[in-house]
Copies of this chain bind each other. A is one copy, B any other.
């Protein structure tokens, strides 16, 4: 097993200024593992769903090497449900409904067969739950990547501080970085957050790209300018899945290789935005991915002599 992802598997109802779709398959761990499956043959999923979650979709995931020993299916209960509405800029959204359902009592159990995975991805969950997942690994995975959100900064600051000290890479968005550090400048924010524990910090800026900070180094990857963004839901999780999947495949956790992993994550995220839900992730193949990575190279590459 090359990679383990812990997080939600869920339903989303999504409204954009241009279209609407009810009960699309979603959840952070869904996007992460489907994206990573383009890079690694076997991964492990730690999550929980209700009896309402489609078994054919779980079978599709299994056929892509996503092991489900860590997936609990709760009889007679309903899966986590989120509903949101995007603003005209498609870069911000309002949450309309959050029905925790099975997630309310989620107590992740990491199967023994998952514990030798070199890469662990902790999706956005209660910080104490993220810690409990780490506790279940007899030996800490070589690379631990963690996502979180502003809500936990408000209600579980101490638990959050405890868990981010134990991870290698923290991924948050620009507003969350500002809230966490109380700094407006992302450069100053990153300096403060790196002192809180994580060795690497990725600040996601949606359509404005992503920044990777490590010690006094910084790397920037833009988002691909798209003709049409149909649905950005899951783009951040796809980014994380591509980042983690590429690192799990190459087994090189250096800053230089993380730059490449960020480009790969950005390329994957650009595909997710092209259709509702994770649909594009099921359609694309290795050629598509290489084509998109090549577009990133031509988008940002230049050679320059000193002026």
Contacts and interface: CB of A to CB of B under 8 A. Distances in A.
Contact of A218 (B263, B289, B299): B299
B218 A225 contact: yes
A300 B246 CA distance: 19
A23 interface: no
Given A307-B289, A307-B293, A209 B222 contact: yes
Interface string A228-265: 11000000000000000010010000001001100110
Nearest to A287: B306
Contacts of A205: 208
B218 A259 contact: no
Nearest to A17: B184
Contact of A225 (B89, B186, B264, B299): B186
A215 to B, nearest CB: 13
Interface size class of A (residues with CB under 8 A): 35 or more
A19 interface: no
A296 to B, nearest CB: 8
B185 A302 contact: no
Interface string A219-231: 1111001111100
Contacts of A298: 217, 219
A172 to B, nearest CB: 15
B302 A293 contact: no
A218 B304 CA distance: 18
Interface in A280-304: 286, 289-290, 293-294, 297-304
B289 A219 contact: no
Copy count, this protein chain: 2
The residue in A217, A220, A306 that gathers the most chain B C-beta atoms within 10 A of its C-beta is A220
Interface in A184-219: 184-188, 205, 208-209, 211, 217-219
Interface string A33-44: 000000100000
Contacts of A260: 302-304
A217 B301 CA distance: 12
A26 to B, nearest CB: 24
A88 interface: yes
Contacts of A302: 219, 256, 259-260, 263
Given A186-B225, A249-B307, 16 more contacts: A39-B307, A89-B184, A185-B227, A185-B228, A188-B227, A188-B228, A205-B208, A208-B209, A209-B222, A217-B298, A218-B299, A219-B302, A260-B302, A263-B304, A293-B307, A297-B304
6 contacts: A185-B225, A185-B229, A187-B226, A211-B225, A219-B299, A300-B300
Would you list the 4 A-B pairs with minimal beta carbon distance, nearest first? A259-B302, A208-B208, A290-B306, A187-B227
